[in-house]
Amino acid sequence: MPEWRELETFLRLAEELHFGRTAERLHVSTAQVSQTIRKLERRIGVPLFTRTSRRVALTPVGRQLVADLAPAFSAVGAALDRAVEAGRGITGTLRVAFGDAAGGQLLAGVAERFREREPGCRVEFREVRPAEVLPWLREGEVDVVLAGLPLAAPDLVTGPVLVREPRFLAVAAGHPFARHGSVTVADLARVPVLRCALPDPWLDEHAPAAAIRPRAGLQELLTLAGAGEGALPVGAHIRRYYPRPDVAYVPITDAPRLEWGLVWPAATATARVRGFAEAAAELVREPA
């Protein structure tokens, strides 16, 4: 199998048709170019160039090899350049996703701080449904997501906790729980519980029979709760950002706080992603 250097030398000589100019482009000696081409021709078994004292020309086999090889070689080179650029984190686009208004507001503040450090990097925001979080991360649709924790998986990296908030239960305005000042975890067993498709170990433990709506977004789940089809565990910020006349938010007094943080694929932990996570951690450490 030819080596990368042999193919690069062959394509550069096919462009220049001059050993000296090819050597200058590759920063090697003319003798090295000649040796590399002879080695490649021995591998293939036929001459790729005709050489005289006055000119260098491609043979028919050489011309066909250029036609077949050049597009793929250019594509590989471009892919490597993009990987280097992404790893350095200097330019390009960082795609961040959020699931609701509060998350979008937090990420907008993080992006402002991040752009001060990386002015050449553009931040692109995407709104994501719970069922899309894992596919988007694993398929490269986005680079990083603000999600409820833990979102444990061997192929994902979780940044520091950015937000901790009390848990509430969203129920229909006319539900008996709406007249209570609070509920407990044990009360979850008394009502049908709604949840999205994202993993939630706490709900798995305390509401294992919860009805999971794989494609449902937040507004759809709140509508179901308001229609009396179930109770929806949410974070405290939902009460502030999504007040609805058909929904009452009741605190769950003995539930652990809900945690939020940034999650990204381990395979794409670029400097851009790490820099964004650092900016987020610094922002939430500052006094409000």
Q: Where are the alpha helices (DSSP H) in the chain?
A: 4-16, 19-26, 30-44, 60-88, 101-117, 133-138, 201-206, 218-226, 236-241, 271-285
Stated length of the chain: 288
267: which DSSP letter?
A: G
Last residue in a domain, options 56, 87, 118:
87
Structural domain boundaries enclosing 188 = 167-256
Query: Same structural domain for residues 59 and 133?
Result: no
Query: Same structural domain for residues 140 and 66?
Result: no
In the predicted structure, residue 172 carries a pLDDT above the cut 60: yes
Domain total of the chain = 3
Query: Same structural domain for residues 135 and 250?
Result: no
- Global pTM reads 0.67
Tracing tokens 């000649």 back to the chain, one arrives at 34
Q: For residue 90, what pLDDT band results from cuts at 50, 70 and 90?
A: low
CATH number of 83's domain: 1.10.10.10
Query: Same structural domain for residues 279 and 138?
Result: yes
Query: Same structural domain for residues 180 and 208?
Result: yes
Q: For residue 143, what pLDDT band results from cuts at 50, 70 and 90?
A: very high
Query: Same structural domain for residues 263 and 159?
Result: yes
Query: Same structural domain for residues 280 and 159?
Result: yes
Residue range 2-21: average pLDDT? 88
Last residue in a domain, options 59, 87, 115:
87
Separation between Cα atoms, residue 157 and residue 269, nearest integer Å: 8
Separation between Cα atoms, residue 8 and residue 107, nearest integer Å: 44
Predicted pLDDT at 69 = 87
CATH number of 225's domain: 3.40.190.10
Query: Same structural domain for residues 138 and 242?
Result: no
User: Beta 144-149 vs 92-98: how paired, if at all?
Assistant: parallel
Query: Same structural domain for residues 121 and 83?
Result: no
**275: alpha, beta or left, given left = phi > 0 and alpha = psi -120 to 50?**
alpha
Separation between Cα atoms, residue 92 and residue 77, nearest integer Å: 17
Predicted pLDDT at 212 = 85
Q: For residue 86, what pLDDT band results from cuts at 50, 70 and 90?
A: low
